[in-house]
């Protein structure tokens, strides 16, 4: 079956086409298993894993082609100051600490 090297060399269109074929095959294999006509049960596992490989590779393609956020120096000083103190942006703007924010929202005693 298709190993990782085979999948990584394919284009997005080829991956989408192969994914469609494997999904149809997986459906047929499930149908055969339900009716008791499945000859090679290990094929179900192979198809399932190959589908996962293809989806992973598609996700990698999307990740590589995403627009980049930009330079880290582009962030405002307020954002950096809030993140250094373990606060999110809202807490940094409001001036509340994490503890005060939890107390205000009624989640002070809730363990995470």
pLDDT tens-digit profile of 16-26?
999 999 999 99
In-domain check, residue 70: no
Burial of residue 2 (CB within 10 Å: 0-12, 13-18, 19+) is middle
CA 49 to CA 3: how far, in whole Å? 10
Question: Coil, helix or strand for 107?
Answer: coil
For 30, the domain range is 4-64
Helix (H) / strand (E) containing 20: helix 12-35
Same structural domain, 10 and 59:
yes
- The predicted-structure confidence for 20-74, as pLDDT tens digits, reads as follows 999 999 999 999 999 999 999 999 999 999 999 999 999 988 888 877 665 555 5
Which CATH number covers residue 56? Answer: 1.10.287.310
Q: How far is the CA of 81 from the CAs of 72, 76, 89, in angstroms?
A: 14, 9, 9
Predicted local distance difference test score (pLDDT) of residue 56: 93
pLDDT over 70 for what percent of the chain? 60
Same structural domain, 8 and 41:
yes
Predicted local distance difference test score (pLDDT) of residue 93: 65
Are the C-beta atoms of residues 108 and 102 closer than 8 Å to each other? yes
Are the C-beta atoms of residues 12 and 62 closer than 8 Å to each other? no
Same structural domain, 24 and 45:
yes
């Amino acid at each position: 079956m298709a190993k990782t090297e085979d999948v990584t060399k394919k284009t997005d269109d080829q991956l989408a086409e192969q994914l469609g074929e494997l999904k149809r095959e997986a459906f047929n294999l499930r149908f055969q298993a339900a009716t008791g006509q499945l000859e090679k049960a290990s094929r179900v596992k192979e198809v399932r894993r190959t589908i996962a490989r293809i989806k992973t590779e598609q996700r990698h393609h999307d990740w590589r082609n995403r627009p980049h956020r930009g330079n880290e120096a582009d962030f405002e000083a307020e954002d950096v100051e809030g993140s250094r103190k373990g606060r999110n942006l809202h807490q940094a703007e409001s001036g509340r600490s994490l503890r005060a924010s939890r107390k205000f929202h009624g989640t002070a005693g809730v363990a995470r």
